[in-house]
Amino acid sequence: MIFNEVNRILVLAPHPDDAEFGLGGTIAKLIAQKKEVFIIVYSLCEKSTPDGFEVGTIEKEMYASLASLGVPRENLIVYDFAVRDFPAHRQQILEEIIVQRNKIKPDLVFIPSSSDIHQDHKTIYEEGKRAFKFNNLLGYEMPWNNFGFNSFVYNVLEESHIQSNIDAINLYKSQGFRLYSNPEFIRSLAILRGGQIMKKYAESFELIRMISA
């Protein structure tokens, strides 16, 4: 029900591709429903550029991927904190989150889940929760980083949403070596979450805070 009642949605993504992996199908569905979706990416991950790719490749892939999902370029805010060093910059990250919170004024915010063990994701979770403690707040799933996951909120998806997400992730050629970039993995997770609620496809989210007017 909440997805029908919100109009301005904000996704906090530690790195390029986190938004797509964590809730790409939901982003595709929200945009198809004419919702405003904003995405903040906190690192361009230049230090993580795989061998054989030029520095800057991941950034170009990010713009192409989010454009393919229909996210307007003006709704994408990008910072360049050093990848894997977020804990050392947590206060600055918090301050930047608050700046964008006050500009965007979202109805619903997605952040990494509380069970995500990646140090950058954990920092965005902790500072995002602090900044948006008076907002509707959901945590997105990244199974390779999650030690357990509380699937309390489900968003039912259609085939078109899943395919849009697969197409967007396929644009990250530099990340194709990752097992979770495989279209079968993406579709299988959506089938699993859909099966839990007797639907064909779904994405699930951790319920962090929900405020009823």
Give dist(CA 26, CA 191) in Å, integer.
Answer: 14
**Residue 151 phi, psi (nearest 5):** -85, 85
Encode the chain in three state secondary structure. Answer: CHHHHCCEEEEEECCCCHHHHHHHHHHHHHHHCCCEEEEEECCCCHHHCCCCCCCCHHHHHHHHHHHHHCCCHHHEEECCCCCCCHHHHHHHHHHHHHHHHHHHCCCEEEEECCCECCHHHHHHHHHHHHHCCCCEEEEECCCCCECCCCCCEEEEECHHHHHHHHHHHHCCHHHCCCHHHCHHHHHHHHHHHHHCCCCCEEEEEEEEECCCC
Is residue 117 within 8 Å of residue 145, measured between CB atoms? yes
pLDDT 10s digits, 132-154: 999 999 999 999 999 999 999 99
**Whole-prediction pTM value?**
0.97
Q: What is the pLDDT of residue 2?
A: 82
Q: Which CATH superfamily is domain 2-206 in?
A: LmbE-like (3.40.50.10320)
Mean pLDDT of the chain: 97
Is residue 111 within 8 Å of residue 12, measured between CB atoms? yes
Residue 58, SS3? helix
Which of the four pLDDT bands, split at 50, 70 and 90, describes residue 1? Answer: low
Q: Report the 10 Å Cβ neighbour count for 178.
A: 15
When pLDDT is averaged across residues 176-204 and rounded to a whole number, the result is: 97
When pLDDT is averaged across residues 51-67 and rounded to a whole number, the result is: 97
Predicted confidence (pLDDT) at residue 104 exceeds the cutoff of 70: yes
Predicted confidence (pLDDT) at residue 19 exceeds the cutoff of 90: yes
Give dist(CA 115, CA 33) in Å, integer.
Answer: 30
